[in-house]
Amino acid sequence: MTPLKSLLLSLCLLTLLAACGGDEPTETLPPVTPPDEEEPIIPPGDDEDNANANEADEAHPFATDLSIPHLDAENQYVEHIVSFREQEILNYALEWVEDKRHAAWVAFSFDSETCQKNVNRTNTWMPDPFISSSPQESDHKSDGFDKGHLCASEDRVYNRTANEQTFYYTNISPQMTSFNGGYWVTFEKLLQTWARSGAYEHVYVTKGGTLNHLLTNFTGTQKAADGRLPQTDADGLTNHGLACPAYYFMAILAKQGENYQAIGFLVEHRDDYGYSNDHQAPVELIQAHAINIDELEVQTGLDFFCNLPDKTEAQVEATYEESAWEWKVTE
């Protein structure tokens, strides 16, 4: 034993004897837990934590794509995939709501390949081969509505098969003619301009109509190409039993490097905006419909961009910067 250790031991013994020699009772301290029995320290949440992410499986390999909202097990989730330049690409996905006969949403993305314009519109209308209850052409006849694309034909022109898939009837919504060709089309063109501008590596998109807010007991003022006025019943259904949304929406997430920015649009489904195929809405009007993603989630009941890390998701969904987007259409 070294002299220093001997001295320290002597001091400890003297201190112990002094403490025990008094008449006053001493306070008993709680035992010290040995280090190996201490409760584990739980670290704060990691930047990559994600409590609400989807899970991919063999049947649905793209469920974790950033464009896909949180999946609802009560609906049918379908991925439409194409082969392009020796790789399998998610063309778009959708979630089908059986009792509404309408998609809850469609989701897809633009990158350096899927933003390309290689083919023309195919007009290959057909039932969705993956959904047994898919509407048919007869479900869109003589109802006073246009066959409005959710994932637009012009969104998928990098490959012929990709464009053909946009004509599946599960990707179609009953839209008023002037809304489809005169107003909503400007939103679509603005999105396509952003996606093809070269400013972003990826643009992730979820589009659809509000199935939680349907257009009920409605009779329009402008006839469609079939010569009929658009009408819905008390349940918000067309004369063929298809749900007719009261609003249409877009949720857009753009990525460049490690930076994300997001913006949402919510647009009332009306036929009195005063625009048409020959006189489309100016982009200045579009800005008035912009909202943050948090607000869009409240209005639609959907959980967008759930596959982002929670911290990133919370940041990009809480607000949007109008000045961060280029408000002009070149498509």
Residue 198's Cα: distance from chain center in Å?
A: 22
Catalytic residue among 149, 269, 279, 289: 149
Q: What tokens does 283 get?
A: 């982009």
Q: Which residues are annotated as a binding site?
A: 180
Closest-CA residue to 155 (of 87, 67, 95, 224): 67
List b or e across 41-58, with b for residues whose CB sees 16 or more CB atoms inside 10 angstroms: eeeeeeeeebeebbeeee
Closest-CA residue to 159 (of 90, 103, 253, 58): 90
Measured CA to CA, the distance from residue 292 to residue 319 in angstroms comes to 5
Our answer to whether residue 213 is catalytic in this structure is no
List b or e across 171-200, with b for residues whose CB sees 16 or more CB atoms inside 10 angstroms: bbbbbbbbbbbbbbbbbbbbbbbbbbeeeb
Residues 6+ away with beta carbon under 8 Å from 106 = 92, 93, 94, 150, 151, 171, 206, 207, 208
Measured CA to CA, the distance from residue 110 to residue 234 in angstroms comes to 38
Q: Which residues are annotated as a binding site for Mg(2+)?
A: 180
Q: What pairs with residue 207 in β-bridges? A: 106, 250
Helix ranges (H only) for the chain are: 3-20, 160-165, 177-178, 185-195, 283-286, 293-300, 310-318
CA angle, residues 156, 162, 163, in degrees to nearest 5: 60
Measured CA to CA, the distance from residue 215 to residue 312 in angstroms comes to 35
Residue 110's Cα: distance from chain center in Å?
A: 14
- Per the CB < 8 A criterion, the answer to whether 188 and 152 are in contact is yes
Residues annotated as catalytic are 149
